[in-house]
Structure 1
Amino acid sequence: MLSAVVTTFNNAATLEQCLASLAFCDDLLVLDSDSSDGTREIAMRHGARIFVEPFKGYSLQKQSAIDKAQHDWVLLLDADEFLVAGTAEKIRAELQAPRADGYRLPRQEWLFWRWPHPRTRATWQLRLFRRSVGAMNTVPVHAAPEVTGRVLDLDAPFRHFGEPEIAVRVSKVNQYSSGLVAYRQSRKRRFIGLRMVVYPAFVFLRFYFGKRYFLNGWAGFIAARVQGFYAFLKLAKQLEAERKESG
């Protein structure tokens, strides 16, 4: 028995496809942060159990939704994500005789105006797990579930709509990098200046060639550049915070 868990806030534009892809699950749960755009009406049409709670932060909100699941096995998606064709069958087959307590699934990212080339490397994320041995971590940015037990990769892809515009993506990495500064202030890094010079270029190359973003034309080049910029911002803002702290 499997519970699908989705948290939402004004996600009417993407929620329909998300919930439709989860129709095979035995329990469909939506935790909404008081949307005003028809999100809850869409969830009702898909027969979801709907809860409404103020947003408590990414990790706490996800954990609150997971705690409300009816079954031990949980499939966790964001409202702007959906399973691709064939993924439901792979998950059902695996859960007939589970080999692990959690599974990482490959996430394919929307690149501004296109889906990635089939040979672009996906980002594997833990999204299918037993909640009796799993919970959200408390990282302030990019919080994710963690499992005490065996975790395997399951080739059951899902897609993330992501940001449709470069400006939106840049705004988010600016916000995320600021959120990480306070979290990392207790762990000062050595050679932060050198890292700031070298590491962003490494991140760009890792995405552009290592993850094969070069197969996606200009969209892939821009996405890899933004990832490098994100790496730069995290280090630059940490350096700024340390200099201010030292006077």
Structure 2
Amino acid sequence: MPVPLSVVIITFNEEANIARCLAALEGVGEEVLVVDSFSTDRTVEICRQHGARVVQNKFVGYVEQKNFATDQAQHDYILQLDADEVLTGELRQSIRIAQANWRHAAYSLARLTNYCGTWVRHGGWYPDRKLRLYDRRLGRWQGLLLHEHYEVQPGQTTGALAGDALHYSYASIAQHVAQLNKFTSITAQELALKGKTRVTLFHLLLKPLWKFAHGYVLRLGFLDGFAGLSIAAISAWGVFLKFAKLRTGTQDAPA
């Protein structure tokens, strides 16, 4: 008999994405739970129109919010998604197979990212596997401020689902740059919390150059055309920003 599944999504001002995400969940899971950080747009209204249960909770961090959302679910078996992700038919079927024959503490899914209208398959952006289907009794979300990840308990095994989650990341270069500014501030905060405050020319010059070369050349980002070039260049700039903010002590994340 298939294990009962709760689909869990955290949101904040996701009216542009959430309907597409929820529409692709038809036939997946026994519950759809949205934990919203007091959105000021139509996110909550759209979620309720699609039959989702909505719980609102103040956002203090990605790890805390995802653990809170996991704990609020009705079932122990969880599929955690972001509002800008959409299940393909193959992935939905793979999830159903896992439900019917559960073997692991958690399962990973691959994400195929749409960047400014282009599906990105190189540059280290694909398959971008993440543990997203899990038994909450056998793991927990871990991390500091930004780089959250689901971690299973020692001795537990993980599996891999077939099919992709379509990830609608950035609709414009401006959106990418704005998000980069926010995330580099948070990452600089993380480094400061870890006591990694030493910044040299190696961090400010060579690491950004390596980031560009690694993504654009070694990981074949050039095969994705302008999207690949933009991703590599902005990602390199992000490395510089992260260490520049750390060096100057301006790593407080913007509101």
Common fold: TM-score over 0.5: yes
- The answer as to whether partners of 2:199 and 2:243 remain within 8 angstroms in 1 is no
Identity of aligned residues (%): 33
For residue 80 of structure 2, what is the aligned residue in structure 1? Answer: 76
- The answer as to whether partners of 1:111 and 1:220 remain within 8 angstroms in 2 is no
For residue 17 of structure 2, what is the aligned residue in structure 1? Answer: 14
- Alpha-carbon distance between aligned partners in 1 of 2:42 and 2:209, rounded to the nearest angstrom: 42
Q: Cα distance, 1:154 vs. partner?
A: 2.5
Q: Cα distance, 1:20 vs. partner?
A: 1.5
Q: Cα distance, 1:225 vs. partner?
A: 1.2
Residue 118 and residue 241 in structure 1: after superposition, are their counterparts in 2 closer, same or farther (change >3 A)? closer
- Specify which of 223, 237, 251 is matched with residue 229 of structure 1: 237
- Specify which of 163, 169, 176 is matched with residue 162 of structure 1: 169
Q: Cα distance, 1:67 vs. partner?
A: 0.5
Corresponding letter in the other structure for 1:220: G
Q: Cα distance, 1:93 vs. partner?
A: 0.8
SS at match of 2:245: helix
CA RMSD of superposed structures (Å):
2.3
Residue 203 and residue 129 in structure 1: after superposition, are their counterparts in 2 closer, same or farther (change >3 A)? same
- Alpha-carbon distance between aligned partners in 1 of 2:243 and 2:213, rounded to the nearest angstrom: 18
Residue 191 and residue 9 in structure 1: after superposition, are their counterparts in 2 closer, same or farther (change >3 A)? closer
For residue 45 of structure 1, what is the aligned residue in structure 2? Answer: 49
Residue 191 and residue 31 in structure 1: after superposition, are their counterparts in 2 closer, same or farther (change >3 A)? closer
- Specify which of 26, 34, 49 is matched with residue 30 of structure 2: 26
Q: Cα distance, 1:218 vs. partner?
A: 0.6
1:85-96 aligned at under 5 Å gives the runs 85-96=89-100
Residue 211 and residue 17 in structure 1: after superposition, are their counterparts in 2 closer, same or farther (change >3 A)? farther
- Alpha-carbon distance between aligned partners in 2 of 1:209 and 1:98, rounded to the nearest angstrom: 40
List per-residue Cα deviations over 1:120-167 (Å, max 9, x = no partner). 732111111111122221320132222212223323311221121212
- Specify which of 174, 181, 194 is matched with residue 174 of structure 1: 181
Residue 187 and residue 156 in structure 1: after superposition, are their counterparts in 2 closer, same or farther (change >3 A)? farther
* Structure 2 residue ranges without an equivalent (≥5): 251-255
Higher strand share: 2
For residue 128 of structure 1, what is the aligned residue in structure 2? Answer: 133
For residue 188 of structure 1, what is the aligned residue in structure 2? Answer: 196
TM-score (normalizing by structure 1) = 0.88
- The answer as to whether partners of 1:91 and 1:156 remain within 8 angstroms in 2 is no
Q: Cα distance, 1:60 vs. partner?
A: 1.6
* Structure 1 residue ranges without an equivalent (≥5): 243-247
For residue 245 of structure 1, what is the aligned residue in structure 2? Answer: none
- Alpha-carbon distance between aligned partners in 1 of 2:232 and 2:115, rounded to the nearest angstrom: 10
For residue 151 of structure 1, what is the aligned residue in structure 2? Answer: 158
List per-residue Cα deviations over 1:207-246 (Å, max 9, x = no partner). 224443222211111011111111222223233349xxxx
